[in-house]
Amino acid sequence: MSASAAKIIQPVEAIVLDRNGARVSPIGSRAFLLEATGDFDLAAQRRIWALSRAVELWSETLEIVPGMTNLLVVLKVTPEDPEILALRLLEAWEQAETIDLAGRMIEISVTYGGEHATDLAALCDRSGLSDREVIRIHYEGTYRVFALGSAPGFGYLHGLDPRIYMPRKTVPSLNMERGCVTIGGMQTGVAVLTGPNGWNSIGFAKLQMFDPMSSTPAVMAPGDTVRFVPASIEL
């Protein structure tokens, strides 16, 4: 068998490339995931935004899905040589210059504590902070929308103070209400659907984050800045 033929039939799953702060791995036969392997920060996300714009223009690109310091690229057809495509994606990453998305400022009114703050006590136990300190730290933060995903209109918000990081639950809540203000690891967000949820709820926001009947269904968009405003604190 020739070397070229061997490469063509090489399993796509075997191709994982890692260099210059990024790793590319296949997702099935027509999609590739590039992950920034450095710090989880705004600089990495700005570079992902720049990469998204470049890759979206490739003739073979069907769809792009920017995530939290990662980019999923879905192709129109399975590439004959997946490794060449993966290398091209890494080269595009290396050439990408960071950009900033000019988003809106969004203020979200929150009832902190109360019946929906089902995980506030656990967060206090983990952090060693009082419930009022946890709430104050949360609403004094300024957050950037890095990406939308997991549910329609759900914004992954970066900027959470490390003092109130809280791992996602190993056993999710089975019926968390839409509107719960949550913390998951190094991120915060607002639940857009009622149902199972592994994030930790500390309050509730009445603002509907996703309206399928609206001309702009999602309240948030990548690049937006978010502030949480305490409407009341129920402790």
Do the beta carbons of residue 185 and residue 168 sit within 8 Å?
Answer: yes
* Residue 208 and residue 106 in contact, taking contact as beta carbons nearer than 8 Å: no
* Whole-number percent of the chain with pLDDT over 90: 80
Domains, in order of start, for the chain: 3-95 (3.30.1360.40), 105-234 (2.40.100.10)
Taking the C-alpha atoms of residue 138 and residue 165, their distance in angstroms, rounded to an integer, is: 10
pTM for the full predicted model: 0.84
- The DSSP secondary structure of 142-164, one letter per residue, reads -EEEEEE-SSTTPEEEE---GGG
Given a cut of 60, whether residue 124 has pLDDT beyond it is yes
Q: What does the radius of gyration of the chain's CA atoms come to, in whole angstroms? A: 20
Q: How many CB atoms lie within 10 A of CB 170?
A: 6
Token code pair at residue 94: 């290396």
Q: Each residue of 184-197: pLDDT tens digit?
A: 999 999 999 999 99
Name the token pair of 188.
């915060």
pLDDT in tens, 143-177: 999 999 888 899 999 999 999 999 999 999 999 99
Rounded to whole angstroms, the maximal C-alpha distance in the chain is 72
